Amino acid sequence: MKHPGSLLLAWQVKDKHCLVIGGGDVALSRVHHLIRAQAKITVVSGPNVHPEILELEEKGELYKLLKRDYEPEDLQMYESKEQLSLESFKDIDESHYAQIDDQVKNQVFACVCCCIDDPVLSGKVYYQSKYLRLPVNIADKPPMCDFYFGSMFNQDALQIMISTNGKSPRLSKMIKDDIAKQFAGIKLNDAVDTLGDIRANLRARKLQDNSLETIEKRMEWIKKLTDFFTLRQWSR
Amino acid sequence: MKHPGSLLLAWQVKDKHCLVIGGGDVALSRVHHLIRAQAKITVVSGPNVHPEILELEEKGELYKLLKRDYEPEDLQMYESKEQLSLESFKDIDESHYAQIDDQVKNQVFACVCCCIDDPVLSGKVYYQSKYLRLPVNIADKPPMCDFYFGSMFNQDALQIMISTNGKSPRLSKMIKDDIAKQFAGIKLNDAVDTLGDIRANLRARKLQDNSLETIEKRMEWIKKLTDFFTLRQWSR
């Protein structure tokens, strides 16, 4: 039997609102993750804010920083009072799409990360978020997490996440460092670009139409070609 | 500037309901991901079902297989009619926690994966899901995805996800194969267990109390020890 695990996913929070509750080290780490993912980040930090969070705010990396304690209203702070009023979700048709898009992009938190040292309040944030159906991560409370963060390796367009499902964060880190060494000096963007150019050339010169047969042939070519060289060679 | 990316997360769907709409190759791949994550999987396959999905149903790996086309009601098929009736989510207190837990675990879909060849219906599934605030992935429609799947490497307790953010799935696969080669023959569970044993021993013999100072000392020890040997050595 396969070893059980998590569902590792690439969450899409670009231009979506994300909420970080807390102003310490963990909050900072969440903010870093969210910046890379180009989210609109709101931090409700409490009165004590990590200096690096303040710096990030000054650089314009945050959407909003509130230096006060969490209030339940925060979970809906961007939601408009006028919501779609439908008898049932089954009545949704194309006339409602733009409004739902606006909710997804500009109103509803795509995720809530709570990183405060108050287990009772943390619990409240969890249950309030779940009632509102917001994905939530309560730091240090694994049963109150819809998702965990893992060790991340980022280089150019490549992202690698390493998880031991909480069994050994230290080992995750070690593996991450191993992988980092392996990719040192490799220009991944160049590899991605070179492969993209070749695909475009192939399309322009040899396999021009869009019949299913041609597409399949093109994919087969690209597959063989990609595998012929190593990653290091592609990045030259 | 750092290259933008996704928010790679380890989604926790163990014992939670997940819905797969479709019965083809992509649906099968989603089902495989969800089995490893120990989700309760419901597949609404349509009349044509991939033979491997049928096999998985026979093996008891699925929670439910419905060999008919999707109906909007499916998105709420496990939700009870009696929901918490609160004036506002701000009134939530501990007396409501058990009911919310039950909703999270037994009623609401933790994710919806739609893998059908019908763009109009796919669009409907997306907007219905977002109205209900369910995380959703519409295959082949990146703007209609709360999350993407990436190339996954799984070995023992270790999970590695590789993403090029859609730029080069082929390169992701290549990197995955590279990593797989690197871990060949390494018994990761042994490494995790050995490290766990040492930590327990250390706690029992040398650093017994739970003062902050002792915890910090213990963490420092483990850190140095872990780094002293390579992964391959730890797995012996």
Residue B194 forms contact with A (CB below 8 Å): no
Model pLDDT, residue B110:
97
Q: Average of pLDDT values for B60-67? A: 98
Chain A residue numbers touching B29 (CB-CB < 8 A): none
Q: Which residue spans within chain B are E strands per DSSP? A: 7-11, 17-21, 40-44, 64-66, 111-114, 136-138, 147-148, 151-155, 158-163
Higher pLDDT, B164 or A97: A97
Q: Average of pLDDT values for A194-210? A: 69
Q: Is the confidence at residue A42, as pLDDT, over 50?
A: yes
Residue B208 forms contact with A (CB below 8 Å): no
Half-sphere exposure of A144 (CA within 13 A, CB side): 24
Model pLDDT, residue B1:
42
How many contacts, defined by CB atoms under 8 Å, are there between A and B? 266
B113 CA to chain A: closest CA distance, Å? 12
Which residue of B lies nearest to A152 if distances are taken between CA atoms? B8
How far is Cα B130 from Cα A107, in angstroms, rounded to an integer?
12
Cβ-nearest to A10 among B147, B179, B191:
B147
How far is Cα A93 from Cα A2, in angstroms, rounded to an integer?
42
Model pLDDT, residue A232:
60
Chain B residue numbers touching A34 (CB-CB < 8 A): 7
Q: Is the confidence at residue A225, as pLDDT, over 70?
A: no
Helices vs strands, H then E, count in chain A: 8, 9
> Which residues 48-87 in chain B show a CB within 8 A of chain A?
72-73, 75, 84, 86
Backbone angles phi, psi at B51, to 5 degrees: -55, -35
Higher pLDDT, B209 or A92: A92
> Which residues 93-112 in chain A show a CB within 8 A of chain B?
96-97, 100, 103-104, 108, 110-111
Query: Which of B63, B27, B33 lies closest to B46, judged by CA?
Result: B27
- Do A89 and B128 count as a contact with CB atoms less than 8 A apart? yes
Q: Taking chain B, what is the end-to-end CA distance rounded to the nearest angstrom?
A: 41
Selected for mutation to probe chain B from A8, A17, A79 (highest B CB count within 10 Å) is: A8
- Do B90 and A100 count as a contact with CB atoms less than 8 A apart? no
Q: Is the confidence at residue A23, as pLDDT, over 60?
A: yes
How far is Cα A130 from Cα B3, in angstroms, rounded to an integer?
32
User: What DSSP state is assigned to residue A3?
Assistant: P
Query: Which of B190, B219, B186 lies closest to B202, judged by CA?
Result: B219
Task: Indicate the domain borders of chain B.
Answer: 14-79+97-149, 152-184, 188-235
B178 CA to chain A: closest CA distance, Å? 9
List pLDDT tens digits, range B188-206. 777 777 777 776 777 677 6
Whether ipTM > 0.85 holds is no
Q: Tell me the fold of A14-79+97-149.
A: Rossmann fold (3.40.50)
